[in-house]
Amino acid sequence: QTTRQLFQKSINFTLKQGDIHYGGWWLHAFFFELVMVVDHNRYVFRDNNATLAQEDVLIVLSDVSTFYLQLGLQITLTGIEVWTTENPITGDTIENLLTSFCSWKKGALNDRIVHDGAGLIVKVDESLGTHSAEFGRVCNNENNGVIVNFVDLNYTLLAMRLTYVLGKLLNVEDDNSEEFCVCRSGDRCLMNATIDVSVHFSNCSFFYFYRFTIKKPCLQNQPEIQISSVKTKQHCGNGLVEEGEQCDCGSWKLCYRDACCWANCTLRMGADCAHGDCCKNCQFIPQGTMCREGDDDCDLPEWCNGSSHACPDDVYKQNGSPCRVIGYCFENMCNTRDDQCKDIFGNETKNAENLCYTTVNTRGDRFGHCSVQGTTYTGCSLANSLCGRIQCQNVKRLPPMAEHTTIHWYYMKDIVCVGTDYHLGIISHDMGLVREGTECGEDLMCIGKECVPVSHFEQSCKEETCNLRGICNNRHHCHCTYDWDPPFCLKEGSGGSIDSGPPPQKVKRVKKVKHGFLIWIIIVLLILLLLILLLFLLRTHSYVQL
């Protein structure tokens, strides 16, 4: 009943939806600096190997940090400590061990490693307990600790427990109402007290988290040294092909069904490869097979080389190359104003008149500007007004948009300018900013919110470098047309570049002669031979008579 009343009072949160998906609900970023400690028992269990003990932490935090990204919380691992000699804490229950840990870290950890929360991994008899946390005490260095019991190598269970106790530290209550607390998986969610295997937070967790963290400035400070994600330590069996591995098919069960790769991350007998865009049925795909098409006017195709599983790196036209009549290529994109307006407001929409840009973007507010410093907006100069925020017209409908998005209409004579605002503090992509590389006049394009000449991208490679038989790619190499070979399109060939892999060999076209025509030629030749022979015989006969 308490849960029902709590959510009925909240008008900002949807309790149940047909498709439970909460990605993008919270556009503000939160940052959690976490330090992890491994107790001596766990160190001994891992063969007195501190590296293995640290690996356990990294492997588990890889999953935990991914879970919390759903809430907009980025976990930064600030340190790992392993007790290699003895345990400096005591306790006869998991809760008492946590109390002892918090007391220990006041004098031994708090001044050494910056953290919003501290986690302790222990290995004790499970009769003492499996996990515990100080509810809602994040950022309070007196008792901002959590503890989990890890007695084996079940990383999934440890990830579930650690996710749960960190949620407690962040003031997230249990999902105690199956009617109102639901998640995308349709099963029990991450904050269910039974700690079942799950990968999603419930709508209740989103509510508790946001209500608490929005009032916690310590979780809104981006770390000076930021670790964008906790990386898993390299090991065979994680499904990722890493240094020293020929392949990685994952678990034993998956490897049993894999025709190319053994469970020890080596190729099976007779296999050339086990993965990649240029690998099929454990064999390299033949040279000249296209493995990546050119997606648009600025992209270039790539072909397999016949001796590698990997498709060559994606290459594309050099920045500043013309595209789509009025556009210019920039970082593999041909950005135009009409396309950007259509992406935001629908296919009927088009770019607004220049007057909209010079009027709105010179204002220096959240609807029109060229730069933001802190909470201060700076308007564009007239010369750069086309490089501020996109202005559209002929908007027929308003599509669904993310939280905190505001649409503005600006009326001028017979023109209606439509655009979006910029909301301070959001971490999502700002769709209303004119895209980099968009044209802003003849031979001009927007770079860094300034309208600069296309010659800004003058490179060592030009059309003349390619003898007017190709174009320059982003590595400043010639990509030759079909009739010419790289590197400089001087020699007749099949096209491509030194970066693209070899395209299929050009087939020499030989004119086919009709079968009947050949027969007539043979007949004529035979007749001529007979005539020559006859003349020879006649001359011989005349000579004998004389």
Directed axis angle between helix 203-213 and helix 2-9, to 10°? 60
Q: Residue 271: is its pLDDT beyond 70?
A: yes
Average pLDDT over residues 307-333: 93
Say which CATH topology domain 2-219 has. Answer: Collagenase (Catalytic Domain) (3.40.390)
Distance CA 431, CA 422 (A): 9
For CA atoms 420, 426, 427, 428, give the dihedral sign: negative
Does the CA dihedral 226-230-236-242 come out positive or negative? negative
Instruction: Quickly count: other Cβ atoms within 10 Å of residue 527's Cβ.
Output: 10
Domain ranges of the chain: 2-219, 235-275, 287-313+459-508, 322-455
Instruction: Kindly tell me if the per-residue pLDDT of 401 is higher than 90.
Output: no
Query: For the chain, how are helix, strand and coil distributed in percent, rounded to 5?
Result: 25, 20, 55
**The dihedral of CA 53, 59, 64, 65: what is its sign?**
positive
Mean pLDDT to the nearest integer, 339-356: 94
> Do 495 and 503 form a contact (C-beta atoms < 8 A)?
yes
Answering whether pTM is above 0.75, one says no
Burial 81-118 (b: 16+ CB within 10 A, else e): bbbeeebebebeebbebbbbbbebbeeebbeebebbbb
How confident is the model over 253-264, as a mean pLDDT? 90
**Confidence band (pLDDT; 50, 70, 90) for 11?**
very low
Q: Which residue has the higher pLDDT, 511 or 538?
A: 538
- Using one digit for the tens of pLDDT, what is the confidence trace for 50-107? 989 999 999 899 889 989 988 889 998 989 999 999 999 999 999 999 999 999 999 9
pLDDT at residue 511 is higher than 80: no
Q: Give the CA angle between residues 317, 318, 320 to the nearest 5°.
A: 110
Give the pLDDT of residue 425: 62
Judged by DSSP in three states, 484 sits in strand
Residue 483: CB atoms within 10 Å = 12
* Inter-residue contact 321 to 476 (CB < 8 Å): no
* Beta strands per DSSP E along 394-449: 407-412, 415-420, 439-441, 444-447
The predicted-structure confidence for 524-545, as pLDDT tens digits, reads as follows: 888 888 888 877 777 766 555 5
Q: DSSP for 42-90, please give it.
A: HHHHTTT-HHHHHHHHHHHHHHHHHHHHTTTEEEEEEEEEE--S--S--
> Could you give the percent of the chain with pLDDT greater than 70?
87
pLDDT mean over 368-395: 93
